[in-house]
């Protein structure tokens, strides 16, 4: 990664976009969580997906949480750079990783939490490789 700090205007635009995408993925995750409730699962889209193939539901929920992890990480990294002109460290990335995995585990169970953890670790490795 370069040591150049982008213009303030570019940072604001990037931060607004990533915040919006984080919120979109959060709303999708909450919708899937609400649709997974035993009271409404028979009439919800999750119930239809489960009747077709239960693994599709796990994949969609995991990808939703992965999207939230990616955009929330980028938001925090951009905000830290915007506010303090210092790039975010690994503490922020790992804290967000733990937060998203805990949310995924609590909302959808251990299967989705595990798959989200593996996919999110792939993004963390990608961030690590970007440093080279």
Compute how many other C-beta atoms are within 10 angstroms of the C-beta atom of residue 80.
15
Residue 87 above 80 pLDDT? no
Residue 121's contacts (CB-CB under 8 Å, 6 or more residues apart) are 97
Residue appearing with tokens 């919800």: 44
Q: Tokens 């570019």, residue?
A: 10
Helix, strand, coil share (%) of the chain residues, nearest 5: 80, 0, 20
Sketch the domain layout of the chain as residue ranges: 8-130
pLDDT of residue 75: 92
Average pLDDT, the chain: 88
Q: Tell me the C-alpha distance between 59 and 47, whole Å.
A: 14
């Amino acid at each position: 990664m370069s040591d150049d700090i982008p213009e303030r205007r570019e940072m604001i635009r990037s931060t607004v976009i990533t915040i919006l995408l984080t919120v979109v993925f959060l709303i999708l995750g909450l919708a899937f969580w609400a649709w997974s409730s035993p009271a409404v699962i028979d009439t919800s889209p999750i119930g239809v997906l489960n009747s077709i193939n239960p693994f599709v539901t796990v994949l969609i929920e995991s990808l939703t949480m992965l999207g939230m992890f990616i955009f929330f990480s980028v938001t925090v990294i951009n905000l830290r750079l915007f506010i303090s002109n210092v790039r975010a460290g690994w503490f922020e990335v790992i804290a967000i990783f733990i937060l998203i995995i805990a949310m995924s585990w609590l909302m959808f169970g251990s299967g989705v939490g595990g798959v989200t953890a593996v996919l999110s670790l792939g993004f963390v490795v990608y961030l690590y490789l970007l440093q080279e």
